[in-house]
Amino acid sequence: MLSPLILLSAVINGLMTGAVYALVALGLTLIYGVLHIINFAHGALLSAALFAAFLAWQKLGLDPYIAAFALAPLFFALGYALQRFVIGPASHADDRNMLLVTLGLAVLIENGLLYEFHADTRTVELAYGFKSIDLGFTFVAVSRLISFVAVFAVALVLWLIMTLTDTGKAIRAVAREKLGAELSGIEVAHIYAVTFGLGTACVAIAACLLIPNYYANPSAGNAFVLIAFTIVVLGGMGSVPGALIGGLVIGVVESLGGFFFGESLGQVGIFLIFIVVLLVRPRGLFGASA
Amino acid sequence: MKAFVPIAVVVAMLATVPAFLHSNVVLNFLVVTLMIALAGQGWNILGGYGGQYSFGHAAFFGTGAYVTAILQMRYGVNAWLGFAAGIAAGAVIGAIVGGLAFRAGLRSSYFALVTLAFAEVLRILASVAPITGAGVGILLKLDLGTRSFQFQSRAIFYLVILALVAVALVIARLLERSRFGAWLIAVRENEDAAMALGVDAFAVKLGAMIISAAITAAAGCFYVQYFLFIDAGIGYGSWISIEALLTPIIGGTGTVFGALLGALVVKSLGEGAKLITGDIPGLDLMIYGAVLILVIRFAPRGLVGAVTDAYDYLRPAAQKRAVEAAHG
Amino acid sequence: MVEPLLRVEGVSRRFGGLLAVNAVSLSAPAASITALIGPNGAGKTTLFSVISGFLKPSAGHVRYDGMDVTGEPPHRLARRGIARTFQIVQPFAGLTVRHNIAVGAHLRHRARDVALQMAEQVGREVGLGELLDRPAHTLTVAGRKRLELARALATEPKVLLLDEVLAGLNPSEIRAIVPAIRALATRGIAIVMIEHMMQAAMSLADRVFVLAEGRIIAEGSPAEVVADPEVVEAYLGHGAAARMRAAYGH
Ligand SMILES: Nc1ncnc2c1ncn2[C@@H]1O[C@H](COP(=O)(O)OP(=O)(O)OP(=O)(O)O)[C@@H](O)[C@H]1O
Ligand SMILES: [Mg+2]
């Protein structure tokens, strides 16, 4: 007999993991919403961010949660520069080229990491790494609880940027109607780069939240990004609330799936959801308009 | 017939290589290069001529490899039959993936994603299912002989893969000269306009997907006969999806020789880097990534396109003026 | 009376809350030119998209040669003989003019050389003879409009839907293309043309339908339609007909 409490603890675990998925997906969906392409370099950038968080801890002794405040702007700048000076100019305003360039970047970054750091797995050891809170029926790691809260804080900040700042308004204008925005004097190349920067900053923060109980490795980001693709598709490409809800849902599905069918089949389950949603309802479950 | 002369010349020239080159290392390099060219030519049919960019051609490569291996090792099927079955199985997977994706109207990012996802599902399944040897993979029994499609001599393998590449080149040329090819290119250029002219875009894309998958699957079948081993990471790993698209894009998409040229360039760069700095993992792929970006930036029509443009540019100015005057 | 080649019966098409085409009926007989006019946003292009299978109607039927072809996909309708051009031209940008037209010709001719030969012939017919080997993306607006026409013609249609092929052309270009269109009708094709250029449309058309806000508000010969005050109002705004009558002292 399965105790409902065990199930509940699997659900809670899933929600905690799902929050970080949601953050990775948030970056992806933001970029899709404005540039209308899937950023295939997202996973490699996450791997790079995991290494950055690891190095900040190893070389500078920075706690990952502190490092987040430095890495987020740093990765924003990186993302901005990549879009402004590499992806944008290289793709000649063609969607398919843009996809290929992000794929090229993914290969370049991932193998650059492999070249530099080899395939070893690196972990961060923190004093509070194993601290957890007793909920009576299950334990929740403090670090995971922190990341759960942090993700919603980041989402809130993003929302404020989008609604209150001029840049945010410009981003939304470009997302709605690129040509119209261009005609009204918005510099689309800049907005594209800002959006890409924001998406990349999300990844940096996600890395800092992950590293306390995860690891850095040249392909560590890929696992997350394939899941993030699923979430973005599930939540509707370009939809921010969709990414958040989708992230939590996938976190729970994976946790329960792993619980019932074992780890790798749980993953297959996610991909099957992904494929079915793509085929049946490519606008996503929460996708509003056509 | 004239249209096939360049293919005949190129293939004939390549066929003479083993006559004066006996180094196993070099032959091995050429065999692998041609195998990638074959996989890339498969991608080129769908991506280059049809404009549908798949990020998951590993699904076909791996299926070809696994079916060839499984039929021989588990069911004692003859290697040549296994090879043919592998190609057919790749085509079937192509029909399934293409049928679902095109029926759902997926394009661009969505199509890239769904192909990638199919390849990943197959990779995960192959890494757990007993029939594919799960995490261990499948080792083919060493059994030299023509009957078992295993050759002591690299030169013979080289000629076999060259023959396969030759067939793939001819398929591309036939495509260019057929109605089906004209329709496929029309769909690439503008799907709505093509449909208005009576093109069944779904059927055309599906057909291209099946041919494309079959060719890439053939490369997978060859892989397993050559290396006598397959596992999930090799068969369904992203490396082959990437190399399959990299080669025609670098060489020139939608051209007969693009994939072959691209494979020669890409593989030479990779090997060159290894010669200079030693075999450090990641370096060759790093270079591929950089080359991909640079080619798209500076030669979006690939090397074949760049050569054509250079030729046009260098053509005597007077001749160019005459042509322009004629065109008003 | 003979059954007209194309008959649209009570077709409506809704986009969310907007009824872009509202219970429209019209017919186009063979060997004649039918004009469809109306102000911007009236639903003309939408109606063409429904007839040619690019959009499914929310209600109503499209009959072609006596058969109900409602909701058939575009490629099948093209095979039956319904061809359309696009208001926003859709060339195969990377291909030459000749290869663009050949795609249309392939619909009835499998062989590559036959299709290319046909393409050349049709290209010359619409005045693209000099430009056959130019990439389509280098053409001017006028050239692209001709290319739209040529590709559609190459499919050897029985019904030809022309969406503003005269727009963007200068008067001499219009004078050049008008006889070509006339000739097509004489050949037996049922032509339906959307036009903003009232004058050209009126001089070409045998029969005119006027669409405004999704509805047919008038139909008849060109002379009847221009005399209809409702038509003038639809074009020039409320009260225009009365003002015009007053101004001209009728
Ligand atoms: N795909 C669509 N989705 C939503 N609304 C649409 C769509 N296509 C057209 N519309 C709307 O339907 C109405 C009719 O558009 P349509 O293009 O048919 O007009 P038209 O008569 O061809 O105008 P024009 O003379 O400007 O070409 C317009 O209000 C337009 O905004
Ligand atoms: Mg219109």
pLDDT digits (tens, 9 = 90+) for A136-188: 777 888 888 899 999 999 999 999 998 999 999 999 999 888 888 888 889 99
The predicted structure's pLDDT at residue B26: 93
Q: Does B163 touch chain A (CB under 8 A)?
A: no
Which residue does chain B place closest to C149, by CA atoms? B197
CB contact residues (below 8 A), chain C span 15-44, against chain B: none
Segment A231-249 shows an average pLDDT of 86
Segment A202-210 shows an average pLDDT of 95
Q: Which residues contact A126 (CB under 8 A, 6 or more apart)?
A: A63, A64, A143, A212
Neighbours of C188 (CB within 10 A): 11
| A208 has pLDDT over 80 | yes
User: Strand C82-84 vs strand C159-163: parallel, antiparallel, or unpaired?
Assistant: parallel
C91: which chain B residues are within 8 Å (Cβ-Cβ)?
189-190, 193
Higher pLDDT: A142 or C236? It is A142
| A287 has pLDDT over 60 | no
Higher pLDDT: B310 or B119? It is B119
* Residue percentage of chain A with pLDDT more than 90: 51
* Residue percentage of chain C with pLDDT more than 90: 71
When pLDDT is cut at 50, 70 and 90, the band that residue B327 belongs to is low
| C249: region left, alpha or beta (phi > 0 left; psi from -120 to 50 alpha) | left
CB contact residues (below 8 A), chain A span 65-94, against chain B: 86, 89-92, 94
When pLDDT is cut at 50, 70 and 90, the band that residue B90 belongs to is very high
Using the CB atoms, write b or e for B146-185: b if 16+ within 10 Å. eebbbbeebbebbbbbbebbbebbbbbbebbeebbbbbbb
Looking at the CA of C39, which ligand is closest?
1
The predicted structure's pLDDT at residue A286: 58
| C244 has pLDDT over 60 | no
| B284 has pLDDT over 50 | yes
- In this structure, of A95-109, A241-255, B152-166, the range with the lowest mean pLDDT score is A241-255
Are the C-beta atoms of C204 and C221 separated by less than 8 Å? no
Closest CA to C74 of B190, B209, B201: B201
Segment A242-253 shows an average pLDDT of 89
Check CB contact under 8 Å for B113 and A233: yes
Number of domains chain B contains = 1
By Cβ distance, the residue of B178, B196, B328 closest to C112 is: B178
How far is the centre of ligand 2, averaged over its atoms, from the C-alpha of A241 (Å)?
36
Q: Does A115 touch chain B (CB under 8 A)?
A: yes
Closest approach of B154 to chain A, Cα-based (Å): 31
The predicted structure's pLDDT at residue C195: 87
Q: Which one of C19, C44, C85, C164 would you pick to mutate in the ligand 1 pocket, going by the greatest count of ligand atoms within 8 A of its CB?
A: C44
Q: Which two tokens stand for residue C3?
A: 């059954």
Closest CA to A54 of A69, A43, A64, A46: A64
Q: What are phi and psi of C27, to 5 degrees?
A: -145, 155
| C93 has pLDDT over 80 | yes
The CATH number of the domain holding residue B44 is: 1.10.3470
- Which stretches within chain B are classed as H helix? 5-15, 17-20, 24-43, 58-75, 79-103, 108-126, 154-176, 179-189, 191-196, 201-227, 232-235, 238-251, 258-277, 283-298, 302-314, 317-326
The predicted structure's pLDDT at residue C241: 58
| C110 has pLDDT over 90 | yes
**B2-48 residue pLDDT tens:** 889 999 999 999 999 999 988 999 999 999 999 999 999 999 999 99
CB contact residues (below 8 A), chain B span 92-111, against chain A: 100-101, 103-106, 108-110
User: Which amino acid appears at position C216 of this protein?
Assistant: I
Range of the domain at B8: 2-326
**C7-34 residue pLDDT tens:** 999 999 999 889 999 999 999 999 999 9
Closest approach of B292 to chain A, Cα-based (Å): 6
| A262 has pLDDT over 80 | no
Check CB contact under 8 Å for B108 and A37: yes
Looking at ligand 1, which residue's alpha carbon is closest to its atom 6?
C15
Give residue for tokens 């030809």: C160
Check CB contact under 8 Å for C75 and B200: yes
Chains that touch B (3 or more CB pairs under 8 A): A, C
**In whole angstroms, what is the distance from residue A222 CA to residue A224 CA?**
5
Are the C-beta atoms of A225 and A28 separated by less than 8 Å? yes
Q: Which residues contact C42 (CB under 8 A, 6 or more apart)?
A: C211, C212, C213, C214
Are the C-beta atoms of C24 and C11 separated by less than 8 Å? yes
Looking at ligand 1, which residue's alpha carbon is closest to its atom 16?
C43
| A289 has pLDDT over 50 | no
Atom of ligand 1 nearest to the CA of C46: 18
| C132 has pLDDT over 60 | yes
| A9 has pLDDT over 50 | yes
Which residue does chain B place closest to A233, by CA atoms? B110
Q: Does C149 touch chain B (CB under 8 A)?
A: no
**B227-242 residue pLDDT tens:** 999 999 999 999 999 9
Q: Does C93 touch chain B (CB under 8 A)?
A: yes
The predicted structure's pLDDT at residue B1: 74
How far is the centre of ligand 1, averaged over its atoms, from the C-alpha of C46 (Å)?
6
Q: What is the pTM of this model?
A: 0.91
Are the C-beta atoms of B42 and B214 separated by less than 8 Å? yes
**B160-202 residue pLDDT tens:** 999 999 999 999 999 999 999 999 999 999 999 999 999 999 9
Higher pLDDT: C218 or B317? It is C218
Element (H, E) at C224: helix C222-226
Task: Determine the Cα angle at B135 with ends B129 and B139, to 5°.
Answer: 95
* Residue percentage of chain B with pLDDT more than 70: 96
When pLDDT is cut at 50, 70 and 90, the band that residue A290 belongs to is very low
Chains that touch A (3 or more CB pairs under 8 A): B
How far is the centre of ligand 2, averaged over its atoms, from the C-alpha of A185 (Å)?
28
Segment C126-144 shows an average pLDDT of 92
Check CB contact under 8 Å for A278 and B104: yes
Q: Across chain A, what does the average pLDDT equal?
A: 88
Segment C159-180 shows an average pLDDT of 86
| C48 has pLDDT over 80 | yes
When pLDDT is cut at 50, 70 and 90, the band that residue A280 belongs to is confident
Higher pLDDT: B127 or A236? It is B127
**In whole angstroms, what is the distance from residue A88 CA to residue A94 CA?**
10
Check CB contact under 8 Å for B197 and C92: no
The predicted structure's pLDDT at residue A240: 85
ipTM strictly over 0.85? yes
Segment C233-243 shows an average pLDDT of 65
Neighbours of A219 (CB within 10 A): 15
Closest CA to A272 of B53, B100, B62: B100
Edge-first strand listing for the sheet containing C207-212: C82-84, C159-163, C190-194, C32-37, C207-212, C215-220
Ligand 1 site, CB within 6 A: C 15, 18, 20, 38, 40-46, 87
Which residue does chain B place closest to A109, by CA atoms? B286
Element (H, E) at C216: strand C215-220
Q: Across chain B, what does the average pLDDT equal?
A: 92
